[in-house]
């Protein structure tokens, strides 16, 4: 169980990849929000990491909890899970939602963190795992290791290669070694600000580096459009298309957000800007990753999902990010 969000699913992948490497013949299922399924399988259904993906639509179910269609879908999910006869459920999310939906599978055992994000979740665990490491990737490994009874080492992530998405990028005639800017994040306290991203885009283009601005197809593009009003090109994409784009990027720049974590996991050069969240907990993890993390000394840890820009992030100048971006772009 690692239902969402994108960055959190990506952070769970190294532990699952380590489990797959340690037990190559095991049957692994992953329960995830439906919009994040492309992280686990391509349009043809190929799954590089797990055997089965169980799709949840909790965003819809939450708004229509008493509708017959919602009940029908949840019961179908339960039947689908029960059909796999899972021996073990590992809750890497630690929420009431993830633990309750995990119980639908009626596993032989359910394992989760000793101090989950939402404390009632621990009431559904047969085994609770104290977490030692401060970073979320080895924390996931600690939970998985306790569940299976032997050490699990974090392994590089494997994302699907979707032929349709690769063809979509080819058709866009995008210049090589482009910079992708990701101006948004899950909540405002992790965002650097569109004015700064616009100034950065302008300086990058002045140095001959094409700039693409990440946006999600079908979502609000206001932030991306505001950046592009200064410089750069907005390129709305689906999740498979985003994966294909990031694989080709010369550098990806943004805050503590899914696209930047994806880039780091795929081995692309990144510059990651931190404010309210701690890079020692959420930052790039693997020693061979190509990254520069920037966080102003005045920033303090605050995970309350506030919408105002973190004061420390506001103290990070465009010039510092530009210098880091040029340094990392040269490594590609």
Together in a domain, 137 and 169:
no
Together in a domain, 183 and 116:
no
If one counts the domains in the chain, the total is: 2
Q: What is the pLDDT of residue 306?
A: 81
Tens of pLDDT, residue by residue over 224-249, are 999 999 999 999 999 999 999 999 99
- Three-class HEC string of 59-107: HHHHHCCCCHHHHHHHHHHHHHHHCCCCCEEECCCCCHHHHHHHHCCCC
Helix (H, G, I), strand (E, B) or coil at 163: helix
CB 259 within 8 A of CB 180: yes
Together in a domain, 194 and 101:
no
Helix (H, G, I), strand (E, B) or coil at 26: coil
Q: What is the pLDDT of residue 148?
A: 97
Residue 217 forms part of a structural domain = yes
Together in a domain, 115 and 206:
no
Together in a domain, 182 and 122:
no
Q: In what order do the strands lie in the sheet with 127-129?
A: 88-90, 109-113, 127-129
Cis peptide, bond prior to residue 5, ω within 30 of zero: yes
Together in a domain, 174 and 323:
yes
Together in a domain, 200 and 99:
no
Tens of pLDDT, residue by residue over 246-268, are 999 999 999 999 999 999 999 99
List the beta bridge partners of residue 90.
Answer: 111
In terms of DSSP bridges, do strands 179-182 and 251-255 run parallel, antiparallel, or are they unpaired?
A: parallel
Tens of pLDDT, residue by residue over 271-319, are 999 999 999 999 999 988 899 999 999 999 988 888 888 899 999 999 9
Residue 158 forms part of a structural domain = no
Instruction: Supply the mean pLDDT for the chain.
Output: 94
Nearest-angstrom CA–CA distance, 57 and 244: 25
Together in a domain, 101 and 209:
no
Tens of pLDDT, residue by residue over 75-125, are 999 999 999 999 999 999 999 999 999 999 999 999 999 999 999 999 999
**pLDDT over 70, % of the chain:** 100
Together in a domain, 18 and 115:
yes
Domain limit, last residue, from 97, 118, 148: 148
Range of the domain at 60: 6-148
Together in a domain, 321 and 248:
yes
Q: Specify the higher pLDDT residue, 220 or 14.
A: 14
Together in a domain, 285 and 310:
yes
CATH number at residue 301: 3.40.50.2000
Query: Taking the CB of residue 151, how many other CB atoms lie within 10 A of it?
Result: 12
Q: Which helix (H) or strand (E) holds 29?
A: strand 29-33
The pTM of the full predicted model, rounded to 2 decimals, is: 0.94
């Amino acid at each position: 169980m690692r239902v969402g969000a994108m960055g959190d699913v990506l952070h769970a992948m190294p532990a699952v990849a380590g489990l797959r490497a340690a037990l190559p013949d095991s049957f692994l299922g992953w329960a995830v929000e439906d919009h994040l399924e492309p992280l686990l399988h391509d349009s043809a259904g190929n799954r590089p990491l797990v055997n089965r993906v169980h799709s949840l639509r909790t965003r819809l179910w939450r708004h229509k909890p008493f509708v017959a269609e919602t009940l029908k879908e949840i019961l179908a999910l339960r039947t689908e899970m029960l059909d796999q006869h899972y021996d073990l459920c590992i809750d890497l999310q630690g929420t009431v939602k993830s633990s309750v939906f995990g119980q639908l599978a009626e596993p032989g055992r359910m394992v989760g963190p000793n101090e989950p994000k939402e404390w009632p979740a621990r009431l559904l665990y047969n085994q609770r795992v104290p977490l030692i490491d401060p970073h979320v990737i080895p924390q996931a490994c600690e939970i998985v290791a306790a569940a299976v009874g032997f050490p699990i080492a974090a392994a590089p992530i494997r994302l699907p290669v979707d032929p349709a998405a690769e063809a979509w990028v080819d058709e866009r005639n995008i210049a090589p070694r482009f910079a992708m800017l990701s101006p948004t994040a899950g909540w405002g306290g992790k965002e650097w600000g569109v004015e700064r991203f616009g100034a950065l885009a302008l300086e990058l283009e002045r140095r001959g580096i094409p700039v693409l601005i990440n946006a999600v197809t079908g979502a609000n593009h206001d932030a991306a459009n505001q950046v592009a009003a200064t410089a750069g090109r907005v390129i709305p994409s689906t999740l498979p298309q985003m994966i294909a784009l990031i694989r080709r990027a010369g550098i990806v720049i943004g805050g503590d957000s899914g696209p930047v974590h994806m880039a780091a996991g795929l081995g692309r050069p990144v510059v990651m800007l931190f404010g309210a969240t701690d890079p020692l907990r959420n930052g790039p993890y693997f020693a061979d990753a190509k990254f520069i993390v920037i966080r102003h000394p005045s920033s303090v840890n605050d995970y309350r999902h506030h919408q105002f820009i973190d004061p420390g992030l506001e103290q990070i100048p465009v010039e510092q990010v530009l210098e880091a971006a040029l340094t990392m772009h040269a490594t590609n």
